[in-house]
Amino acid sequence: MTLKAVLFDLDGTLLDTAPDFVTSLNLLLVEEKKKPLDYQIIRNTVSNGAKALVQLAFPLEETDPEFEHLRQRLLALYSQHLADKTLPFPGISEVLCFLKQQKISWGVVTNKPFFYTEPLLKQMPFPVAPHTVVCPDHVTHRKPHPEPMLLACKQLDCKPFEAIYLGDHRRDIEAAQNASMKTIACAYGYIEAGDKVSDWHADYSVQQVKDIIPILQKIIKAD
């Protein structure tokens, strides 16, 4: 493959957003007169979104009338603490600088709504801005459907087989595979208890961000 683009999932892959989700969910629990949850328990659930966090914290079915109220309140709290502690994972800036040197485009494909994604990305200290950002607002189907991946490739003027996608959830890997893209599973991200990254059957996997550049170098060298 000729590598023309590298695409990242957002939460748990590009950015360590867990601290601000922990803050927001525990503030909600305190409001509801419940005990805060352990940091690691919340961290492992972040990639599954607001609904999963509400289900983690409250013994409610999604059909319960109170469920949507709690979800909306969680999102309101999160919007107030969007970038208090969130930062790119250590080593991400080096990866982006490497891509710039190699003249390879990069972008974000996330299931996080644009309302939160745009202001969050604007506050991040990236050495180079993303060339595309695809959120659920921009497509009919979200990951694991291939539509977001294909839209990102179209915007970057590359074929899916000329791009590689990095993600920390089975859904990310499936979305890229469904779009005929190469994949890197990021085991440093928000992996649920009992989930095995090896079961996702990604083309590559990394335990740390620093392992990404050697994989990209290997792919480029093989071009």
Element spanning 21, H or E = helix 18-31
Estimate the share of the chain in helix, then strand, then coil, as percent rounded to the nearest 5. 50, 15, 40
The amino acid at residue 69 is H
H or E segment and range at residue 205: strand 204-206
Residue 167: Cβ within 10 Å count: 30
Q: Please give the backbone phi and psi of residue 107, each rounded to the nearest 5 degrees, phi first.
A: -160, 180
Q: Is the dihedral of CA 134, 136, 138, 143 positive or negative?
A: positive
On whether the CB atoms of residues 158 and 181 are closer than 8 A, the answer is: no
Catalytic annotation, residues: 9, 11
DSSP-derived 3-state class of residue 183: strand
Q: How many CA atoms lie within 13 A of 150 on its CB side?
A: 12
- Distance from C-alpha of 188 to C-alpha of 191, rounded to nearest angstrom: 8
Single-letter amino acid, residue 102: Q
